């Protein structure tokens, strides 16, 4: 009987590992939300990593940050409580921008844009890893060779002309 408890406990722990993306890529269940752990912890680790990579105003001034689109005020408040002296970035001052967070069990990837004193912000993808009862830590990073402004203008939208959509459906039937 004792030997059954250990495998069952391991399956339960593995089954509870989060699997999510923010901003959501598709319709997500109500069980995942950016205010639920480990998302705030991962975001804090990414912001602190971004701050440590830079010098000048980004490293010395009060820390300002931006979270992925559609992030709630509650999410911002949670991050501000964890990083003392931090605040939401304003339109007149750049901050470290978290573009997206992807969590797959005990592995996470975060796209983070770090402002520089000179030039365009640098876009990084950082990989974080954790083990049960251990802190999240950055294990790898990739610096993208293009500027974030090169991709910021890309908008994904549906065609507004409904007649084109209707013609395409009719052709397929």
Q: 24-54 pLDDT, tens per residue?
A: 666 655 445 677 788 889 999 999 998 887 7
H or E segment and range at residue 170: helix 162-172
Q: Does residue 19 carry a pLDDT above 80? A: no
| Torsion angle of the four alpha carbons 31, 25, 106, 63, in this order, in degrees rounded to the nearest 10 | -100
Q: Which residue has the tokens 């009987």?
A: 1
Between 153 and 107, where is the model more confident?
Answer: 107
H or E segment and range at residue 151: helix 148-152
Give the C-alpha separation, 65 to 86, whole Å.
8
What 3-state class would DSSP assign to 129? strand
Please report the domains of the chain, with CATH numbers, ordered by start residue. 16-24+32-154 (3.10.450)
């Amino acid at each position: 009987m004792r030997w059954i408890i250990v495998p069952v406990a391991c399956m339960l722990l593995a089954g509870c590992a989060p699997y999510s993306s923010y901003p959501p890529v598709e319709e997500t269940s109500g069980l995942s939300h950016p205010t639920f752990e480990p998302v705030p912890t991962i975001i804090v680790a990414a912001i602190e990593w971004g701050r440590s990579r830079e010098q000048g105003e980004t490293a010395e001034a009060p820390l300002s940050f931006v979270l992925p689109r559609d992030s709630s005020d509650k999410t911002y408040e949670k991050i501000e409580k964890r990083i003392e002296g931090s605040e939401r970035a304003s339109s007149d001052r750049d901050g470290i921008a978290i573009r997206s967070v992807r969590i797959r069990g005990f592995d996470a990837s975060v796209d983070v844009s770090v402002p520089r004193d000179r030039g365009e912000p640098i876009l990084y993808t950082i990989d974080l890893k954790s083990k049960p009862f251990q802190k999240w830590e950055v294990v790898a990073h990739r610096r993208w060779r293009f500027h974030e402004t090169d991709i910021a203008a890309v908008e994904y939208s549906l065609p507004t002309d409904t007649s084109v959509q209707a013609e395409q459906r009719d052709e397929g039937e």
